[in-house]
Amino acid sequence: MLDGFKRSEIQTSGARIVTVTGGRGPPVLLMHGNPFTHLSWLKVAPTLAREFTVVCTDLRGYGDSEKPPGGEDHSGYSFRAMAQDQVEVMATLGFERFYAAGHDRGGRVLHRMCLDRPEKVMRAAILDIIPQHHLLNHVTREWGTFSWHWFFNIQPYDLPERMMGADPDWFIEKKLAKTKQGLSFFDKDALAEYKRCFRNPETIHAICEDYRATFGVDLEMDTRDFEAGRKIECPVLLLWGATGGVGRNHKSAEVWKAYASNIVGAKAVPSGHYLSEEAPVDTTAALREFFTAR
């Protein structure tokens, strides 16, 4: 569906990662969220590819990428493990330094990447998230109600896996249709791909392992970094959907000041949570402006 992009599968030290690459110019890595694949950038990547070499991947456990074991502590799906995959993918493609954008879970992978491998990321665009360290230490009724799936997905194996797997198409439609627009802004073929991948019980299990890691090993890493005063040092752009949970319930730019020392842009996009699919023109323009800035 991404015409002109080349699909490959790159073996990292931890997983086989589905990768699509297109365009020419400085490298930009785009990372998706839950429960998506690289196709969440379908409406953004082609335009950016006019000026950049655009790399879109399926995160480990998602889409058609490999789904390795999470381990007893679920660290196989920590943001550290996911970030290392992405760094190795870019190195395999010949990019030792690159721009990056991440939405939802991809934004959390990018946050960890900026802390673990700051020499790799030149500029980081983080889309529609609040740091999980802040969220899990400031749980509110509003956030818990809106983000109920966080607490559902972390329940012990195999309760959430069985419940989501009982009717995966119904579940994914119910989860994604958060607004009056329903599913109308999703590309039909991309939505069909999301459903296809979500029907795989291994994908559902990997998603649960991702969230289980967030409440355990990821939070432990974040706490150590926060207490040590470690922040993202590269230039950061924050984007969020004006009518989504972040836009309604949080002061994103204020919260992120405790986690990033060089926020050069912070703005709302006229959308809910799914910026690249609800408001692709605004999202693409903001990313292009950020990545071309000097």
Kindly list the catalytic residues.
Answer: 104, 273
Sequence-ordered list of residues with C-beta below 8 angstroms from that of 63, at least 6 positions apart, any chain: 18, 36, 37, 38, 193, 197, 203
Going by C-alpha positions, the residue among 204, 277, 266 that lies closest to residue 235 is 266
The Cβ of residue 14 has, within 10 Å, a number of other Cβ atoms equal to 15
Which residue in this structure is represented by tokens 């673990």?
116
Q: What is the DSSP string of 72-124?
A: TT-GGGSHHHHHHHHHHHHHHTT-SSEEEEEETHHHHHHHHHHHH-TTTEEEE
**Residues contacting 258, CB < 8 A, separation 6+:** 131, 134, 226, 231
**Cα–Cα distance for residue pair 230/19, rounded to 1 Å:** 31
Torsion of CA 133, 204, 60, 145, to 10 degrees: -20
| Cα–Cα nearest to 114, from 290, 280, 21, 237 | 237
CA-to-CA distance for 61 and 57, rounded, in angstroms? 11
Q: How far is CA 52 from CA 26, 110, 134, 225, 290, in A?
A: 5, 19, 33, 32, 12
Pairing of the two strands 6-11 and 16-23: antiparallel
Helices 159-166, 201-213: axis angle to 10 degrees equals: 140
